[in-house]
Amino acid sequence: EAGVVQSPRYKIIEKKQPVAFWCNPISGHNTLYWYRQNLGQGPELLIRYENEEAVDDSQLPKDRFSAERLKGVDSTLKIQPAELGDSAVYLCASSLWRGDGNEQFFGPGTRLTVL
């Protein structure tokens, strides 16, 4: 079974530039998560999708971040414009929501460096 796929793996951009990250979850997983992991910290949830619906985006900085999950499969996370503080690893995870303690499977992440 293929795991969660993310691209690109690394991205270096100048501040104020836009950037986008792509995630392909495990086939059949209806729940998709985006986390941000700052250096030396654990991941923090940015947004959670149930199928196509963003059901928890309370931690997403909406002034510059946006996300979409068309057709309830792949997802894209965008930052526009990027700031120095956005340098982090962006992790995508997916799960099959069963309503009780479902396991999340993580992709390798995209390491973003904003100069």
Partner 1 sequence: AQSVTQPDIHITVSEGASLELRCNYSYGATPYLFWYVQSPGQGLQLLLKYFSGDTLVQGIKGFEAEFKRSQSSFNLRKPSVHWSDAAEYFCAVGLMEYGNKLVFGAGTILRVKS
Query: What does the binding site for partner 1 look like in residue numbers (CB under 8 A)?
Result: 4, 31, 33, 35, 40-45, 48, 50, 55-56, 91, 93, 95, 97, 100-109
CA–CA separation, 73 vs 83, rounded Å? 28
In the complex with partner 1, which residue's Cβ is closer, 11 or 81?
Answer: 11
Give which of 98, 80, 97, 78 is closest to 34, Cα–Cα.
78
Rounded to the nearest whole angstrom, what is the least distance from the CB of residue 57 to partner 1 in the complex? Answer: 12
Give me the residues paired with residue 111 across strands.
10, 89
**CA–CA dist 34, 61 (Å, integer):** 13
> Please, which residue, 23 or 79, has the CB nearer to partner 1?
23
Residue 17 or 55: the one with the smaller Cβ distance to partner 1 is 55
Whether the Cβ atoms of residue 88 and residue 39 lie closer than 8 Å to each other: yes
